[in-house]
Amino acid sequence: MKRFFKSIGREGSFKRLATSRGEDDTPVCAAEDTVKREPTKFLSWNTNSFLLRLKTNREEVFSLLRRLDPDVIAIQEVRIPSAGRKGEPKNRCELKDDTNPSREDKQIMMRALSVSPLSDYGVWWSLGDSKYGGTALLVKHSCSPVSISYSLDQSDGSKLKHEPDGRVILAEFHSFRLLNTYVPNNGWKDEDNGFPRRRAWDARMLEFVKRPHKKPLIWCGDLNVSHEDIDVSHPDFFANAKLQGYTPPNTEDIGQPGFTLGERQRFADCLSEGDLVDTYRSLHKEQEFDTGFTWSGNPVGKYRGKRMRIDYFLISRKLVNRLISSDIHGQGIEQEGFCGSDHCPITMEIQAASKEVVRLECIQSRQVDSLDT
């Protein structure tokens, strides 16, 4: 069972809030207010350890959240292990707490979630086996999703299945679906955790976005690819980067992970075949050299000043007429606004769906469901 916390007086206190379950038995966050609405303001951020950000950059993070006031926060690289002892099945929706260090880490996280602004949100986790990867989805209590799942495989028997390393959370709302992903890095070599793993992921992702569905898609997260030259600060540097002493056997795999020809083409295929729109690029046609990138290299060394846009909000084309804004909230070589991570937060805002749109989506949902049976 997932746990949701709110402030109950002093900051160091926390308690469990009630949860309920939908028809498909996926947990739905209990809300304190009875009026439900769809989220319209979204924030996505690869925190490079959510726990570490709340330990060392808490006031900066809280200030950012108060200022932007998102309805949904999609986190990548939570970097907290899932619950379960070594050799036993893991509960990937729960934080590990069976050792003294893990209990201390969990207590820090729960205390942060119990106070404003994070106490305004229900939280869903998809966690890995170790302090690697992991995603989280925080949704305001007034915007609770219809259902939550954790896999690109959406067959009936897989609704509670999690992706390796906790890379996916999929939330369904009345008029759209929201997919939060932490895409595997391509790596530098043609080995199990390198090129083959990324090719396999991209193939599954293409299958997912092509699959007919009753509702349009919002896909956000660290997608670990820069689509075009305009999406990196130094195209020649990234295109020719390589691991010392190793040359990939295929030309399409040469270059900085995230900027190889193979990754870029497969991403383009997902956009075209899935009829998806890159919201930031649709509103910002020209390169913004100071504010147009979401990942920045180490300020010390050869990657100083080398930056990439690898975090996205992509939307189904039918949602474009609802798009209001899509922004990047970090800038400069010194990583202003990154709040301690090597990625900065990004946001998107859309118009609320009309009651007629929601009604039509419900009708289409029933029609598609009847075709599937």
Residue 29 inside a domain? The answer is: no
Question: SS3 of 139, please?
Answer: strand
Residue 20 inside a domain? The answer is: no
At residue 215, the pLDDT reads 97
CATH number at residue 194: 3.60.10.10
97 is in an annotated binding site: no
CA angle 85, 89, 95 (to 5 degrees): 60
Residue 2 inside a domain? The answer is: no
At residue 156, the pLDDT reads 64
Active-site position among 121, 182, 280, 312 = 182
57 is in an annotated binding site: no
Residue 16 inside a domain? The answer is: no
290 is in an annotated binding site: no
77 is in an annotated binding site: yes
Active-site position among 222, 253, 278, 311 = 222
120 is in an annotated binding site: no
At residue 322, the pLDDT reads 98
Q: Is 222 one of the annotated active-site residues of the chain?
A: yes
- Euclidean distance between CA atoms 332 and 317, whole angstroms: 31
Residue 31 inside a domain? The answer is: no
Q: Which two tokens stand for residue 131?
A: 């302090």
Q: Is 343 one of the annotated active-site residues of the chain?
A: yes
Strands (E), 89-245: 91-95, 121-126, 135-140, 147-149, 168-172, 177-182, 217-222
Number of domains observed in the structure of the chain: 1
pLDDT tens sequence for the chain (373 residues): 444 333 333 333 333 333 334 434 444 444 344 457 999 999 999 999 999 999 999 999 999 999 999 999 999 999 999 999 888 888 999 999 999 999 999 999 999 999 999 999 999 999 999 889 999 999 999 999 999 999 999 776 666 699 999 999 999 999 999 999 999 999 999 998 899 999 999 999 999 999 999 999 999 999 999 999 999 999 999 999 999 999 999 999 999 999 999 999 999 999 999 999 999 999 999 999 999 999 999 888 899 999 999 999 999 999 999 999 999 999 999 999 999 999 999 999 999 998 655 665 555 555 444 444 4
Q: Is 162 one of the annotated active-site residues of the chain?
A: no
Residue 112 inside a domain? The answer is: yes
Domain that holds residue 258: 39-372
Residue 13 inside a domain? The answer is: no
At residue 24, the pLDDT reads 43
At residue 360, the pLDDT reads 59
46 is in an annotated binding site: yes
Residue 32 inside a domain? The answer is: no
CA nearest to 230, candidates 282, 298, 168, 154: 282
At residue 7, the pLDDT reads 35
